[in-house]
Chains A and B, each alone.
Chain A
Amino acid sequence: MENKIVVKGVNNSFKKNQVLKGVNLTVKSGSIYALLGANGSGKSTLLKIITGLHAMDSGEVFINDLEITHNPRRIRQTFSLNSQTTTTDEILTGFENLQLIAKLRHLPNTDEVADKLLAQFDLTEARDRRVATYSGGMQRRLDIAMSLVGEPEILFLDEPTTGLDPKSRNDLWAAILDLKQRGKTIFLTTQYLEEADQLADQIGFLQNGHIVATGTPAEMKQLGGHSRLQLIFPTTDAIESAQKILLDFNMSVGTDGSLLIDLTDGVTTSLKALTLLSNHDIPISSFQVLAPTLDDTFMQLIKEA
């Protein structure tokens, strides 16, 4: 089957606060889907609905073509949810936490699975210590390791890298990509746009209860606007003269005093600008083309709301 997860017209309100107003999305089998959205836009709520922890007001969710409310137990076999809040057992050791989950997933080799995951998440040294003595990031790593026990086909990760240091984050990204390599489907939410950019095959942007934009990272960046040419000048005189000469261009001044020119016409625009400056003998220290980023798109979409 091509579509692993299909969400159709999901509505959900908390009292008078309607958080989801007909959310539609599909996640392809073996792909990584990243759900973006501002704080409080309803990302976690949507994950809880898809995984059956929270009942929706109306709408349908299919996992592997099965409607989730019809056969919840069988569907839960296929996925694992890592929620936004760390849920490890502080009184047990790291090893015992993993062992417990492995037992509950009815794996034959619980101890082996636990040790392998401890090693993968750099926790072997802390194996037999109570989780209460772990640092926040260590707890988060254990929490994610617990969600990987048994390697279910689908993984839901709610802000998995929040609170991780750069190395742990890179390790987790590698682990996620590795799972994808092995055919798993991954649905994650994140506040780090770089993360969505690095990992996702498809990005969805949730706002005002709808998915307002969706596409590949490249497509999403296009929504943020054009590439820009950044020009850096050696003197303030040079900046001032350049501003006069380039009046016809769509231009702004960066916080560092550089000039940013919107490349409405791509390369042609930059050639025109550079030629003009050189014709007037205005010195330039350096220049570069800035591609649009997901940050731009994010800000743009939020502004439009």
Chain B
Amino acid sequence: MNYIKDTLALSGRLIKHNLRSLDTIITVVAMPVMILLAMVYLFGGAIQIDGLQHDEYVQYVLPGILLITIATGSAYTALRINLDKTGGMFDRFRSMPISKSAVLSGHVLASIVFMLTSTTIVLVVGFLIGFRTSASPLEWLYIILLVVGFAIMVTWLSVPFALAASSVDGASAFSYLVLALLFVSSAFAPTNKMPAALEAFAKHQPMTNIIATIRNLFASNSVGADGWLSIVWLIGITLVSWWVGVKIYNRV
């Protein structure tokens, strides 16, 4: 009971951080929106997607943009965890009679809330510029679960990096790794248009599975093998980074 109260109090603090720093909001919401607009209005016409009209490119690209929003947000998750470690805030909390893990849980919870809020904003922008979906309530539920799962995964993935880094810059660098994975996936164009070596990688990495699943759900298509592959990837990566993260946390 106290664990939950403490986690809520601590995440409340971090949500205030996110709301009060303008650069956080601008980076995490505006950047994905810019990419979305650029892809749809500038480059979209040049990318040929089988079975889609040029002006329907937004249907193709939006799922990837949602994940990019989450990945961008993780840079701030890492930053805030690292600041608390190096600035002594962790020590203050840990000398108090609260559960040690509530301190980390507070960060995780605030991060997920922030990521989902910014994703929702980007999704709304998508609808405004013509994104349409035929997803049923059940398919929507599936999409939401995947997006939440992705936010949880990326958040936990940032924890070990944030705790191990000795500086703020190092802490947020890892988010470029996730962003790079997203760029080398089917987020913007089908993998079969890529050079062979890149294609082999892009086809089999988790981002492609997850994006394809969300894309198919939005279009009410069957998800095929991508569906369970996404779930396996999400749970697997989350568990590994959770395990490593908690191990490092108990040592710092």
List residues of A whose CB falls within 8 A of some B CB: 48, 51-53, 73-74, 76-77, 79-81, 83, 85, 87, 89, 91-92, 96, 100-101, 103-106, 130, 146
Whether the pair A106, B2 counts as a contact (CB closer than 8 A) is yes
- B128 contacts A by Cβ under 8 Å: no
Interface pair B88/A106, CB less than 8 Å apart: no
Q: Are A105 and B96 in contact (CB under 8 A)?
A: yes
Given contacts A92-B13, A92-B16, A96-B16, contact A104 B98 (CB under 8 A): yes
Tell me which residues across on chain B come within 8 A of A105, comparing CB atoms. 96-97
Q: Are B95 and A80 in contact (CB under 8 A)?
A: yes
Q: Contacts A85-B88, A106-B5 given: A77-B13 contact, CB under 8 Å?
A: no
Kindly identify which residue among B17, B87, B88, B96 contacts A104, using a CB–CB cutoff of 8 Å: B96
Measured in the bound complex, the distance between the Cα atoms of B17 and A73 in whole Å is 28
User: In the bound complex, how far is the Cα of B96 from the Cα of A83, in angstroms?
Assistant: 12
Q: Which of A83, A91, A103, A104 contacts B16 (CB 8 A)?
A: A91
Contact A104 B95 (CB under 8 A): no
Q: Which of A73, A79, A83, A91 has the largest number of chain B CB atoms within 10 A?
A: A91
Question: What residues of A have a CB within 8 angstroms of the CB of B2 in the complex?
Answer: 106
| Cβ–Cβ < 8 Å partners of A87 in chain B | 87-89, 91-92
Instruction: Say whether B6 faces chain A, with CB atoms less than 8 Å apart.
Output: yes
**Which residue of the partner chain, among A52, A100, A106, contacts B95 with CB atoms under 8 Å?**
A52
Q: Does any Cβ of A come within 8 Å of B10's Cβ?
A: yes
Q: A85-B88, A89-B89, A91-B21 are in contact. Are A53 and B94 (CB under 8 A)?
A: yes
Interface residues on B, range: 20 to 34
In the complex, the chain A residue whose C-beta lies closest to that of B91 is A53
**Is B88 within 8 A of A83, CB to CB?**
yes
B95 touches A91 (CB 8 A): no
- What are 23 A-to-B residue pairs whose CB atoms are below 8 Å? A51-B95, A53-B94, A53-B95, A76-B95, A76-B96, A77-B97, A79-B95, A83-B91, A87-B87, A87-B88, A87-B91, A89-B13, A89-B89, A91-B16, A91-B17, A91-B20, A92-B13, A96-B16, A104-B9, A105-B96, A106-B2, A130-B20, A146-B92
Taking A80-B95, A85-B88 as known contacts, 19 extra A-B pairs with beta carbons closer than 8 A to each other, sorted by chain A number, are: A73-B97, A73-B99, A74-B97, A76-B95, A76-B97, A77-B97, A81-B95, A83-B91, A87-B87, A87-B92, A91-B16, A91-B17, A91-B21, A96-B16, A100-B12, A104-B93, A104-B98, A105-B96, A106-B2
A101–B6 alpha-carbon span in the complex (Å): 10
Tell me the nearest residue of chain B to A51, going by C-beta.
B95
Q: Return the CB mask of B218-247 against A: 1 if under 8 Å, else 0.
A: 000000000000000000000000000000
Q: Inside 8 A of B89's CB, which chain A residues have their CB?
A: 87, 89
The interface residues of chain B lying within 8 Å CB-to-CB of A48 are 91
On chain B, the residues within 8 Å of A101 by CB distance are 96
B95 & A103 in contact (Cβ 8 Å cutoff):
no
Contact with A along B83-123 (1 / 0, CB 8 A): 00001110111111111000000000000000000000000
Nearest A residue (CB) for B9: A103
Rounded to whole angstroms, the CA-CA distance of A106 and B2 in the bound complex is 8
In the bound complex, what is the Cα–Cα distance between A154 and B96 (angstroms)?
12
Find the residue from B16, B17, B97, B98 having the highest chain A CB count within 10 A. Answer: B97
Taken together as a complex, chains A and B put the C-alpha atoms of A203 and B207 apart, in Å, by 62
Q: Measured between C-beta atoms, what is the minimum distance from B22 to chain A in Å?
A: 12
Query: What separation, in Å, do the CA atoms of A80 and B2 have in the docked complex?
Result: 19
Smallest beta-carbon distance B140→chain A, Å: 35
Give complex CA distance A104, B88 in Å.
17
A83 pairs with B92, CB closer than 8 A: yes
> Which residues on the A side are within 8 Å of B94 (C-beta)?
53
Compute how far the CA of A292 lies from the CA of B93 in the bound complex, rounded to whole angstroms: 42
Q: How far is the CA of A195 from the CA of B159 in the complex (A)?
A: 42
Interface centre among B9, B17, B20 (most CB of A within 10 A): B9
With most chain A CB atoms within 10 A of its CB, the pick from B6, B89, B96 is: B96
